[in-house]
């Protein structure tokens, strides 16, 4: 009897269920990242580039905490794990995983290898200085580029060996807890200043037949690269070459421990299709070569944009390009200026699996003008306020996104109104710069101006369908006004019940109060980030 309790405990411990490995699942063109067997929304924060050392971590965790992030996105560099060829050091990975667990966050690990912002700066010295073994590509004018060529097995095999060692290490220390949930092999691949490698070796491959898989994808007859792809041939060739190279590395990693993988893109201007490759990172997974990547890289689960475009039109256009039936939307990076925070709403509205703005630590660094002028808590707050709203939904929202329907809009730069088509029965209008009561026309000359701080766009609304007539609504600095859709046009519209509340740790809705009267007569006004459950109804006229 005396031994029974400890024995039972030991048995229970032994029987603890194995947590399934994270996976990206797809259902009818909708996606979810499964973590511990259930959908998980990445509310991420990416650390600055040089925060990947144990000594820097103490300045990372407080920012991640203020951000209310559930995931830290952190680089691990080839130069740091294999400074001497064949000798590996994973002490940073050990510290990172241990401290992530202590801080109760998950990790996405970025492999800075052959490519980091297209260059080899993170390869070890024995790689970046040895052009013979690890050749750089040749520019069109015959000069040597700064970037490594994707056409050499020597380079690929050396990178792959280090990457696979990293994955073996992660598997060894993390397959019980699954702290690491996703991997990004390489960072912003491609090349500036050229469309492709113009070496004799590259020219010879260009003159050979285009691979079958690519012909099939584009439904093209056989031929060499110029014959098949004409003016796109150079860029498509480089994209194919890099995608195949990275896929080969990702496949080797997955054979060891099959975590989801993604590649991030330094963007091509989504509003300027004429922009020439090389003025943007040619060969990277820009929107115009997503199909090339899909054909070349089956071991890459998704392609993800790095969003530093300040205009809302451009930001939204890029989101549209990457949210596809064959590509889950993940904002791999976004600027950390306050105005970027609101784009979480339009990311969620496109069934995004996560949002990961860049530059979140307190190491005192700021990448303005791409990101914020600030590097302390003021920089974090606009994002932290919205993550505070969504963090309790980290399991609820992605389940609805996978299984039901979601919508989301962010405030446009010109503050114009948006309409949500919620199906035949209902719709909603979202407006910005509104006071919490009444209508703008009551103050026709706008004598009282707009609410303080509203000149800088910061608002947005995300809506998820709970049942035919019931919606979950999260918003900030916006007004949402529901109405009858075309199927209910002949009927009277009623905002039947508006509950403010939150979700508890088990994912159960906790009712706080009913909003009615002044609080709902002029739409639901989000002066602060808030969460509602809204029930809509009609009456016969």
Helix, strand, coil proportions of the chain in percent (round to 5)? Answer: 35, 30, 40
Token pair recorded at residue 406: 């979601």
Say how far apart CA 468 and CA 423 lie, in whole Å: 10
Distance of closest approach, residue 184 Cβ to ligand DGJ, in angstroms: 9
- How many Å separate Cα 203 from the centre of its chain? 36
Distance of closest approach, residue 49 Cβ to ligand DGJ, in angstroms: 5
What is the enclosing helix (H) or strand (E) of 158?
helix 153-174
Nearer to ligand DGJ, 117 or 525 (CB): 117
Nearer to ligand DGJ, 145 or 334 (CB): 334
Distance of closest approach, residue 117 Cβ to ligand DGJ, in angstroms: 5
Distance of closest approach, residue 459 Cβ to ligand DGJ, in angstroms: 26
Phi (first) and psi of residue 446, to 5 degrees = 55, 45
Give the 3-state DSSP-derived string for 67-98, with helices as H, strands as E and coil as C: HCCCEEEEEEEHHHHCCECCECCCHHHHHHHH
* DSSP one-letter string for 92-149: HHHHHHHHHHHTT-EEEEEEEEEEETTB-TTS-HHHHT-TTTSPEEEPTTSPEEEEEP
* 356 belongs to the binding site for ligand DGJ (CB under 6 A): no
Q: Which residues share a beta bridge with 32? A: 25
Nearer to ligand DGJ, 149 or 372 (CB): 372
Chosen residue from 66, 82, 159, 188 binding ligand DGJ by CB under 6 A = 188
Nearer to ligand DGJ, 316 or 333 (CB): 333
Distance of closest approach, residue 331 Cβ to ligand DGJ, in angstroms: 12
* 138 belongs to the binding site for ligand DGJ (CB under 6 A): no
Distance of closest approach, residue 18 Cβ to ligand DGJ, in angstroms: 34
User: Going by C-beta distance under 8 Å and a sequence separation of 6 or more, which residues neighbour residue 24?
Assistant: 31, 32, 33, 34, 260, 301, 302, 328, 353
Chosen residue from 370, 417, 466, 537 binding ligand DGJ by CB under 6 A = 370
Say how far apart CA 190 and CA 147 lie, in whole Å: 8
Count of positions (residues) in the chain? 541
Distance of closest approach, residue 121 Cβ to ligand DGJ, in angstroms: 10
Nearer to ligand DGJ, 45 or 412 (CB): 45
Distance of closest approach, residue 359 Cβ to ligand DGJ, in angstroms: 6
User: Going by C-beta distance under 8 Å and a sequence separation of 6 or more, which residues neighbour residue 243?
Assistant: 285, 292, 293, 296, 297, 300
Say how far apart CA 216 and CA 213 lie, in whole Å: 5
Say how far apart CA 102 and CA 109 lie, in whole Å: 17
Token pair recorded at residue 419: 């309409």
Nearer to ligand DGJ, 49 or 68 (CB): 49
* 425 belongs to the binding site for ligand DGJ (CB under 6 A): no
Closest CA to 156 of 262, 247, 86, 245: 245
Binding mask 402-421 for ligand DGJ (x = CB under 6 A): --------------------
- How many Å separate Cα 236 from the centre of its chain? 24
Chosen residue from 70, 114, 117, 282 binding ligand DGJ by CB under 6 A = 117
* 159 belongs to the binding site for ligand DGJ (CB under 6 A): no
Size of the site for ligand DGJ (CB under 6 A): 9
Say how far apart CA 248 and CA 243 lie, in whole Å: 8
Chosen residue from 306, 316, 356, 411 binding ligand DGJ by CB under 6 A = 306
* 70 belongs to the binding site for ligand DGJ (CB under 6 A): no
* 187 belongs to the binding site for ligand DGJ (CB under 6 A): yes
Distance of closest approach, residue 436 Cβ to ligand DGJ, in angstroms: 38
User: Which residue has 């003025």 as its token pair?
Assistant: 279
Closest CA to 223 of 206, 238, 239: 206
Chosen residue from 275, 367, 425, 488 binding ligand DGJ by CB under 6 A = 367
* 118 belongs to the binding site for ligand DGJ (CB under 6 A): no
* 333 belongs to the binding site for ligand DGJ (CB under 6 A): yes
Distance of closest approach, residue 354 Cβ to ligand DGJ, in angstroms: 16
Nearer to ligand DGJ, 116 or 169 (CB): 116
Token pair recorded at residue 326: 């064959």
Say how far apart CA 337 and CA 27 lie, in whole Å: 34
Chosen residue from 49, 179, 184, 282 binding ligand DGJ by CB under 6 A = 49
Say how far apart CA 124 and CA 489 lie, in whole Å: 66
Query: Contact positions toward ligand DGJ, by CB under 6 A?
Result: 49, 117, 187-188, 306, 333, 358, 367, 370
């Amino acid at each position: 009897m005396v031994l029974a309790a400890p024995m039972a405990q030991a048995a229970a411990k032994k029987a603890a269920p194995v947590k399934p490995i994270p996976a990206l699942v797809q259902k009818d063109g909708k996606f979810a990242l499964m973590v511990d067997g259930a959908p998980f929304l990445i509310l991420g924060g990416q650390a600055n580039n040089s925060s990947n050392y144990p000594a820097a971590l103490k300045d990372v965790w407080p920012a991640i905490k203020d951000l209310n992030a559930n995931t830290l996105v952190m680089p691990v560099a080839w130069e740091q794990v294999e400074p001497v060829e064949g000798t590996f050091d994973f002490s940073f990975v050990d510290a990172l995983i241990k401290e992530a667990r202590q801080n109760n966050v998950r990790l996405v690990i970025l492999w800075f290898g052959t490519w980091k912002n297209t260059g080899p700066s993170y390869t070890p010295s024995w790689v970046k200085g040895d052009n013979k073994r690890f050749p750089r590509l040749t520019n069109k004018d015959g000069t040597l580029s700064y970037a490594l060529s994707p056409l050499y097995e020597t380079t690929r095999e050396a990178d792959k060996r280090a990457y696979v060692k990293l994955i073996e290490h992660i598997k060894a220390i993390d397959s019980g807890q699954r702290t690491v949930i996703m991997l990004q092999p390489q960072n912003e691949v491609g090349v500036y200043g050229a469309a492709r490698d113009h070496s004799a070796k590259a020219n010879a491959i260009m003159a050979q037949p285009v691979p079958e898989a690519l012909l099939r994808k584009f439904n093209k007859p056989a031929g060499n690269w110029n014959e098949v792809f004409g003016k796109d041939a150079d860029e498509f060739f480089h994209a194919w070459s890099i995608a195949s190279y990275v896929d080969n590395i990702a496949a080797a990693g997955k054979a060891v421990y099959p975590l989801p993988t993604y590649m991030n893109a330094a963007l091509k201007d989504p509003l300027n299709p004429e922009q020439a490759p090389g003025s943007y990172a040619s060969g990277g997974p820009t929107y115009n070569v997503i199909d090339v990547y899909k054909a070349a890289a089956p071991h890459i689960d998704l392609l993800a944009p790095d969003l530093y475009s300040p205009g809302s039109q451009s930001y939204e256009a890029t989101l549209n390009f990457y949210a596809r039936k064959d590509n889950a939307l993940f904002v791999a990076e976004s600027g950390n200026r306050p105005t970027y925070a609101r784009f979480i709403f339009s990311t969620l509205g496109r069934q995004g699996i996560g949002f990961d703005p860049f530059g979140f630590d307190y190491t005192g660094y700021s990448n303005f003008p791409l990101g914020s002028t600030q590097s302390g808590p003021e920089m974090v707050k606009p994002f932290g306020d919205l993550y505070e709203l969504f963090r309790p939904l980290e399991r609820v929202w992605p389940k609805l996104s996978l299984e039901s329907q979601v919508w989301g809009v962010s405030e446009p730069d010109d503050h114009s109104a948006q309409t949500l088509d919620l199906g035949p029965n209902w719709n909603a209008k979202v407006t910005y710069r509104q006071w919490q009561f009444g209508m703008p026309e009551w103050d026709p000359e706008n004598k009282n101006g707009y609410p303080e701080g509203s000149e800088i766009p910061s608002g947005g609304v995300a809506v998820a369908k709970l049942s035919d007539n019931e919606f979950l609504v999260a918003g900030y600095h916006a007004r949402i006004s529901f109405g009858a859709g075309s199927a209910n046009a002949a009927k009277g519209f009623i905002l039947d019940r508006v509950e403010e509340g939150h979700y508890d740790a088990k994912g159960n809705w906790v009712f706080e109060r009913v909003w009615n009267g002044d609080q709902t007569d002029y739409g639901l006004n989000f002066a602060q980030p808030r969460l509602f459950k809204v029930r809509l109804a009609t009456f016969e006229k």
